[in-house]
């Protein structure tokens, strides 16, 4: 878009404003027209199908009524006694009676249209009287086997319709009516074969080539169809016919796309016959007029859009003229090179460039001022007096405050380096806004979560300025809490003249901040030159001795109380340095580790999962944290000591029992239950003490006993030895002996006694 001239951009915008709604409206109207046209055609087709269905039902009902009328004429009684073809042809009177029946059937055919043939079959006879073959033996006429299948669906006294194909190849729908016993004593069946084409005429009279019709039975068997090859086949194998036959709706319609052709299926079920009447129409042919109307609407829309495009171009040219003139003027008066850009993109680039140049100039001045100020402050803290000292700090007195983040290790674990860098920037910026004009302050980062604030003021009496500084430090603590999510402790050096050694004041503030070890974090501590730092180191020797005694007895609760005593001694000391405090606790840790190692207790399990314990103590900031940390440590030590004692006790019981009863049949599960531990834990203890599994250790005891017996009692059999050492059979003894000794018991016995005899022989010689 930036490379397209503005006149074309505006033309495109106006074109979209006009063309898009018109296109959407055209698309929507075309879709609605086609949808409504399809529904109207479908409803009309369904109405036509229902009309054809009713016409067919009337025609078939007329056939059944005419056949029922013949049933009551009693004409068939004339031949009721002639069961065989020979009896019927025995005399002229019998033949005449048969011809009367045939004439009645011919008269029946004349009353109905579309009848191919009709015949009468007397039950249990061997002949048929028909309109196509006259009086014919049953063996020369078509098979009657289909009739039994047809009559299985008969209900009541009426007949049934059954589609079939004759021997002649003609497809018919036969009406089968057994004679009614209430009207005649003759037992037989009247069959009327109605041509399938006559039924087809009722459905194909108006559809032409656009229509494909299906007349099926309730199970989907095709009775009539345009394609005669499909007659009497299973219609459910055709597309969507199965869905129609199994549907719950007696009449409806649906649209389907098959092989790129849109088809309309309409269906109606005959309640009288149970037949499905189905028509299939090609919508592409039925919708020809609708498609032509759609094409006309599309052409009209294209013409409207074309005319609108010309108009929008003229309007865009008129509206964009001022912008184009401005762009020409700027191009002539500036050296900005923007190739292949339109007027708006050129003007946007020109203004952005001017804005960027202005911002870069401002940031450059600001950065140089900030860097110069920070460098001067860092030089001052190192003891160097910067050249611009008078400009940075115009007042007479100087003091330094150290702001330290409490629980700095937790803060590091909760934030990433990018977040910490951002927090430092925000905090330094916040501190710059908190100090009033009568105090010149500059904040720099010193590392390890510590910030140095250099404060310059002209207050002669520090007692009057102290409330002001306390309020400022409280504001700094609130700001730090919001930024870091942690409290901060502030250590403030004593005030001195401007050109004094600032590095000494920094060291003083750093020392002051260590007072949070004894007085707690989150406070503000002020330094004093009169602080007595020459007091000798203190060390709680008595507490150390008691802690060792408590470790001996496993009394961890008293160790916790002794840690509280040490803390109280530190807090009540008149002066105690931070280094002295670390020395006390480091000595306690060293003493504890020494005791554990002297008593062969594995310290790896106790201290696993903890980082370097001495570094951990050095990073602790308050006595509360120190006491909690050491309490947790000694609780873990006590837990491990109890574990080792209990485990050793269990091990002595288990090993002693095995060494005493290894020759017996030992139930290990029961042994573990008697001791009060689980079987898996018992196996673990034995493996730890012996380096062998429970089963292996037991078998080794047995094999050692067997070796002793083999040497001391060579006259015993292997079975006796196996029984004495706890095996049920010799095979077990041999197997385990080979496993642990690498040879059979017999070989071991021979080798041992052979070595015993050799020295005796040598002495005799």
Annotate 631-693 with three-state secondary structure.
HHHHHHHHHHHHHHHHHHHHHHHHHHHHHHHCCCCCCHHHHHHHHCCCHHHHHHHHHHHHCCC
pLDDT tens string 408-442: 888 888 889 888 899 988 998 898 888 888 888 88
Please count the residues of the chain.
765
Sheet holding 115-122, edge to edge: 134-137, 127-130, 115-122, 188-195, 171-178, 160-165
Q: Is the pLDDT of residue 61 over 60?
A: yes
Q: 329: pLDDT confidence band, cut at 50, 70 and 90?
A: confident
Q: What is the pLDDT of residue 478?
A: 92
Do the domain assignments include residue 267? no
Do the domain assignments include residue 427? yes
The residue from 134, 161, 194 where one domain ends is 194
Q: Which residues contact 643 (CB under 8 A, 6 or more apart)?
A: none
Q: What is the pLDDT of residue 9?
A: 64
Cα separation, 116 vs 124, in Å, equals 25
Q: What is the pLDDT of residue 363?
A: 60
Task: Quote the number of domains for the chain.
Answer: 2
Mean pLDDT of 534-563: 76
Cα separation, 640 vs 604, in Å, equals 11
Q: What is the pLDDT of residue 470?
A: 87
Do the domain assignments include residue 189? yes
Sort strands 524-526 and 488-492 into parallel, antiparallel or unpaired.
parallel
DSSP string, 454-503: EEEE--S-HHHHHHHHHHHHHHHHHHHHHHHSS-EEEEEPPPEETTS-HH
**Helix (H) and strand (E) counts in the chain:** 28, 17
Q: Is the pLDDT of residue 534 over 70?
A: no
Q: Judge residue 137's burial from the number of C-beta atoms within 10 Å of its C-beta, 0-12 exposed, 13-18 middle, 19 or more buried.
A: middle
Q: What is the 3-state secondary structure (H, E, C) of 237-273?
A: HCCCHHHHHCCCCCEEEEEEEECCEEEEEEEEECCCC
Q: Is the pLDDT of residue 506 over 60?
A: yes
pLDDT tens string 31-59: 777 777 778 888 888 888 888 888 888 88
Cα separation, 354 vs 357, in Å, equals 5
Nearest to 407 by CA among 484, 490, 486: 486
pLDDT tens string 623-672: 888 878 888 777 777 776 665 555 566 777 788 888 888 888 888 888 88
Torsion of CA 285, 290, 296, 300, to 10 degrees: -150
Q: What is the pLDDT of residue 1?
A: 46
- Rounded to the nearest angstrom, the gap between the alpha carbon of residue 493 and the centroid of all alpha carbons in its chain is 59
pLDDT tens string 255-294: 888 887 888 888 888 888 888 888 888 877 766 666 677 7
Tokens of 23: 């296109």
Cα separation, 723 vs 729, in Å, equals 7
Q: 118: pLDDT confidence band, cut at 50, 70 and 90?
A: very high
Cα separation, 276 vs 220, in Å, equals 8
Instruction: Report which secondary-structure segment, H or E, holds 313.
Output: helix 288-319
Q: What is the pLDDT of residue 479?
A: 92
Higher pLDDT, 4 or 595: 595
Mean pLDDT, rounded, of the chain = 80
Note the pTM of the prediction, 2 decimals: 0.40
Mean pLDDT of 146-168: 85
Q: 764: pLDDT confidence band, cut at 50, 70 and 90?
A: very low
Do the domain assignments include residue 61? no
Cα separation, 287 vs 42, in Å, equals 11
Task: Write b or e for each residue in 329-359: b if 16 or more Cβ atoms lie within 10 A of its Cβ, otherwise e.
Answer: eebeeeeeebeebbbbbbbeebeeeeeeeee
Mean pLDDT of 316-325: 68
The residue from 150, 167, 194 where one domain ends is 194
DSSP state of 234: B
Do the domain assignments include residue 201? no
The residue from 177, 194, 211 where one domain ends is 194
Do the domain assignments include residue 674? no
Collapse the DSSP code of 397 into the 3-class scheme (helix H, G, I; strand E, B; otherwise coil) and give the result.
strand
Q: Is the pLDDT of residue 365 over 60?
A: no
Q: What is the pLDDT of residue 144?
A: 85
Higher pLDDT, 511 or 28: 511
Q: What is the pLDDT of residue 475?
A: 92
- Residue 445 pairs in a beta bridge with 451
Mean pLDDT of 147-162: 84
Mean pLDDT of 284-313: 74
Q: What is the pLDDT of residue 347?
A: 67
pLDDT tens string 164-210: 888 888 899 999 988 877 777 888 899 999 888 888 887 765 545 56
Nearest to 399 by CA among 430, 354, 440: 440
Collapse the DSSP code of 161 into the 3-class scheme (helix H, G, I; strand E, B; otherwise coil) and give the result.
strand
pLDDT tens string 677-726: 788 878 887 887 777 888 888 889 888 888 888 888 888 888 888 888 88
CATH code of the domain covering residue 422: 3.30.70.270
Q: What are phi and psi of 282, to 5 degrees?
A: -85, 110
Q: What is the pLDDT of residue 337?
A: 54
Torsion of CA 237, 241, 246, 251, to 10 degrees: -170
Q: Is the pLDDT of residue 79 over 50?
A: yes
Q: Is the pLDDT of residue 763 over 50?
A: no
Instruction: Report which secondary-structure segment, H or E, holds 353.
Output: helix 343-381
Q: What is the pLDDT of residue 644?
A: 57
Q: What is the pLDDT of residue 605?
A: 60
CATH code of the domain covering residue 84: 3.30.450
Tokens of 8: 């074309």
Q: What is the pLDDT of residue 2?
A: 47
Q: What is the pLDDT of residue 41?
A: 81
DSSP state of 338: -
Collapse the DSSP code of 760 into the 3-class scheme (helix H, G, I; strand E, B; otherwise coil) and give the result.
helix
Q: What is the pLDDT of residue 765?
A: 39
* Boundaries of domain holding 131: 72-194
Q: What is the pLDDT of residue 303?
A: 81
Rounded to 10°, the helix 6-71/196-204 angle is: 140
Q: What is the pLDDT of residue 761?
A: 46
Mean pLDDT of 574-590: 80
- For the chain, what percent of residues have pLDDT higher than 70? 83
Torsion sign across C-alpha atoms 702, 703, 709, 712: negative
Cα separation, 762 vs 765, in Å, equals 5
Mean pLDDT of 90-118: 87
Q: What are phi and psi of 675, to 5 degrees?
A: -75, -30
Do the domain assignments include residue 632? no
DSSP state of 139: G
Tokens of 120: 């009468």
Task: Write b or e for each residue in 375-386: b if 16 or more Cβ atoms lie within 10 A of its Cβ, otherwise e.
Answer: ebbeebbeeeeb
Collapse the DSSP code of 735 into the 3-class scheme (helix H, G, I; strand E, B; otherwise coil) and give the result.
helix
Tokens of 113: 């249209």
Do the domain assignments include residue 167? yes
Higher pLDDT, 341 or 64: 64
Rounded to 10°, the helix 623-661/679-690 angle is: 90
Q: Is the pLDDT of residue 480 over 70?
A: yes
Q: What is the pLDDT of residue 330?
A: 67
Task: Please report how many Cα atoms fall inside a 13 Å half-sphere around the Cα of residue 404, on the Cβ side.
Answer: 29
Q: What is the pLDDT of residue 185?
A: 84
């Amino acid at each position: 878009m930036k490379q397209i001239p503005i006149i074309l951009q505006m033309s495109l915008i106006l074109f979209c404003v006009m063309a898009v709604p018109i296109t959407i409206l055209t698309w929507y109207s075309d879709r609605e027209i086609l949808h409504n046209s399809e529904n109207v055609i479908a409803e009309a087709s369904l109405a036509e199908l229902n009309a054809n269905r009713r016409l067919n039902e009337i025609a078939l009902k007329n056939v059944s009524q005419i056949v029922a009328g013949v049933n009551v004429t009693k004409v068939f009684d004339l031949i009721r006694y002639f069961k065989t073809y020979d009896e019927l042809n025995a005399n002229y009177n019998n033949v005449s009676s048969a011809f009367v029946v045939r004439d009645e059937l011919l008269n029946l055919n004349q009353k109905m249209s579309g009848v191919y043939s009709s015949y009468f079959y007397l039950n249990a006879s061997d002949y048929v009287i028909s309109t196509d073959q006259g009086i014919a033996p049953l063996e020369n006429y078509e098979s009657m086997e289909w009739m039994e299948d047809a009559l299985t669906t008969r209900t009541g006294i009426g007949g049934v319709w059954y589609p079939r194909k004759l021997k002649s190849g003609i497809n018919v729908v036969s009406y089968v009516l057994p004679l009614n016993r209430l009207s005649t004593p003759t037992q037989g069946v009247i069959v009327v074969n109605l041509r399938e084409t006559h039924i087809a005429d009722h459905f194909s009279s108006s559809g032409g080539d656009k229509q494909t019709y299906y007349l099926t039975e309730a199970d989907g068997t095709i009775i009539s169809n345009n394609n005669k090859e499909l007659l009497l086949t299973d219609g459910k194998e055709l597309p969507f016919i199965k869905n129609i036959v199994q549907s719950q709706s007696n009449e409806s319609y649906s649209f389907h796309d098959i092989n790129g052709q849109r088809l309309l299926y309409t269906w109606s079920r005959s309640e009288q016959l149970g037949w499905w009447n189905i028509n299939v129409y090609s919508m592409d042919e039925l919708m020809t007029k609708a498609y032509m109307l759609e094409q006309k609407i599309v052409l009209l829309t294209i013409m409207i859009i074309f005319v609108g495009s010309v108009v929008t171009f003229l309007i865009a040219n008129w509206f964009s003229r001022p912008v184009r003139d401005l762009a020409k003027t700027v191009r002539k008066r500036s050296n900005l090179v923007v190739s292949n850009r339109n007027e708006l993109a050129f003007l946007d680039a020109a203004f952005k460039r001017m804005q960027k140049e202005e911002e870069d100039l401002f940031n450059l001045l600001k950065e140089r001022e900030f860097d110069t100020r920070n460098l001067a402050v860092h030089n001052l803290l190192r003891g160097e007096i910067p050249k611009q000292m008078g400009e940075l700090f115009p007042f007479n007195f100087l003091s330094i405050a150290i702001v330290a983040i409490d629980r700095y290790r937790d803060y590091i674990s909760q934030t990433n380096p990018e977040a910490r860098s951002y927090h430092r920037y925000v905090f330094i910026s916040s501190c710059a806004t908190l100090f009033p004009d009568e105090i010149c302050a500059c904040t720099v980062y010193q590392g390890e979560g510590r910030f140095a604030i250099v404060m310059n003021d002209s207050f002669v009496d520090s007692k009057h300025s102290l409330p002001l500084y306390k309020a400022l430090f409280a504001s700094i603590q609130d700001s730090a809490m919001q930024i870091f999510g942690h409290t901060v402790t502030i250590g403030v050096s004593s005030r001195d003249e401007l050109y004094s050694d600032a590095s000494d004041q920094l060291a003083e503030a750093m020392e002051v901040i260590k007072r949070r070890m004894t007085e707690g974090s989150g406070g503000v501590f002020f330094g004093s030159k009169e602080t007595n730092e020459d007091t000798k180191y203190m060390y709680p020797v008595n507490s150390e001795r008691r802690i060792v005694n408590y470790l001996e007895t496993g009394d961890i609760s008293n160790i916790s109380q002794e840690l509280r005593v040490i803390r109280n001694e530190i807090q009540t000391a008149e002066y105690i340095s931070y280094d002295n405090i670390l020395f006390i606790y480091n000595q306690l840790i060293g003493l504890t580790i020494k005791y554990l190692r002297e008593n062969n207790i594995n310290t790896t399990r106790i201290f696993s999962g903890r980082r370097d314990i001495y570094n951990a103590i050095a990073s602790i900031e308050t006595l509360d944290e120190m006491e909690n940390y050491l309490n947790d440590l000694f609780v873990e030590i006590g837990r491990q000591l109890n574990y080792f004692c209990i485990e050793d006790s269990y091990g002595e019981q288990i090993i002693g029992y095995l060494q005493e009863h290894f020759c017996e049949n030992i139930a290990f599960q029961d042994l573990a239950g008697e001791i009060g531990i689980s079987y898996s834990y018992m196996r673990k203890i034995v493996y730890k003490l012996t380096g062998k599994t429970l089963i292996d250790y037991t078998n080794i005891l047995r094999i050692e006993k067997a070796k002793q017996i083999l040497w001391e009692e060579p006259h015993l059999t292997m079975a006796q030895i196996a029984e004495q050492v706890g095996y049920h059979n010799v095979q077990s003894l041999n197997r385990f002996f080979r496993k642990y000794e690498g040879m059979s018991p017999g070989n071991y016995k021979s080798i041992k006694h052979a070595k015993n005899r050799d020295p005796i022989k040598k002495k005799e010689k």
